[in-house]
Amino acid sequence: MIDLHTHTDRSDGTSTPAELIAEAKGMGLSALGITDHDTFAGYDAAVPFAEAAGLELICGIELSTRYQGQSVHLLGYFPVRPPSKELRKWLDFMLEMRRDRNNRLIAKLQSLDVDITLAEVETMGRTLTGRPHFARVLVDKGYAKDIQNAFDLYLDESARGFVQRQEVSMEEALERILASGGVPSLAHPVRVAKNNWEKLAAYVEDLAGLGLRAIEVYHSDHSPENVSFYQSLAQRNNLGITGGSDFHGANKPLIALGTGKRNNLHVPNELLEDLRTLAAH
C-alpha cells in the first residue's frame, strides 16, 4: 500500500516529518509521497528519517493555480530526480504571495473586530503559514468552536473574512514542473468542477494539451463512481494516474494516512512504477 498525497507541519498538516514517517512505517506503507503546499521543506526534513526507516519517500508538492477563473490545485511529483534549483527559487516567489495574502487577511479579520496578529498565526505555521493556522488561532481565542467552524465563519471563499491569494496560472505551474523533470497531476478533481462531469472532461482535455501528465484518481473525497470516471478520463486523454489520502493530521481528523475516510482508499502499488515511467519521458 502507498500514499502519494500527504502534508506535514511544514505546510498545513500537524505531523512533523519524523512523525509522518514513523506513522507510515508503522502502518506498513511501502512508499510515501510528501506534497506540502508551495514548499519542499517537509520532504527535505523527512529524507533522513525515511532512509533510517527503510521507507521509500517520493518528493512532491501541491501548488495553488488559477485556471478558468477558479483556484485549481496541481500536484507535482519528482520520483526520478530531485526538483531543480530553479524550481526551488521560484517557490520563494510563491511564498511571498502567500505572505502578502496573510497580511491582508489579518487586516480583514481585525476590521471584523477579531483580535488576532500575524505573529500569533506564524507561531502555528512555522515554515509556511496558511488558513488552517489562522483557524487554529481563531479556535484557541474563542472566535470559533472548531477548525471547520472557523472556515465557515471567516476563512472559506464564501465567508466574510475571506481574502483571495494571488495565484500563478495553471499554464505557468505546468511549465515549471515539467521543466524541472516532474510529473504534474491534477489534484482531487472532485473539487474542480463539483461533479459536473462534462465540464471536468473538457477541462482535463484542455489541460492535457497544456502539459498535464496525470490525474489524481484515488483520493479520500472520491466516491467509487468518481474513481471510475476519473480512470476513464485518464485513459481517454493518455494520462497517468496518481492517488493519496491528502492526510493533514489533526487539521483533517476524518482522513487517515493510507486509508482515507472510513477505509475508502487503497492506492495500488503499481502506480509508483507508472509515475517513474512518466517522469523518465
Alpha-carbon separation of residue 121 from 32, 33, 152, 244 (angstroms): 28, 27, 18, 28
Q: Would the pLDDT of 127 be above 70?
A: no
pLDDT of 177-218, one tens digit each?
999 999 999 999 999 988 799 999 999 999 999 999 999 999
**Of 77 and 162, which is predicted with more confidence?**
77
Q: Would the pLDDT of 128 be above 70?
A: yes
Sign of CA dihedral 176, 178, 183, 189: positive
Exposed / middle / buried, residue 55 (Cβ in 10 Å: 0-12, 13-18, 19+)? middle
Paired strand residues for 11: none
Cell of residue 260, nine digits: 482515507
Element (H, E) at 179: helix 170-179
Q: How confident is the model at residue 58 (pLDDT cuts 50, 70, 90)?
A: very high
**Of 256 and 122, which is predicted with more confidence?**
256
* Percent of the chain surpassing pLDDT 90: 82
Average pLDDT, the chain: 94
Q: Would the pLDDT of 166 be above 90?
A: no
pLDDT of 21-33, one tens digit each?
999 999 999 999 9
70-78/56-67 β-pairing:
antiparallel
Q: What is the pLDDT of residue 115?
A: 94
C-alpha 218/C-alpha 205 separation (Å) is 19
Q: Would the pLDDT of 280 be above 90?
A: no
Q: What is the pLDDT of residue 25?
A: 97
Q: What mean pLDDT do residues 97-119 have?
A: 91
32 three-class SS: strand
Q: What is the pLDDT of residue 126?
A: 63
Q: At which residue does the C-alpha cell 474542480 appear? A: 192
* Percent of the chain surpassing pLDDT 70: 99
Q: What is the pLDDT of residue 165?
A: 80
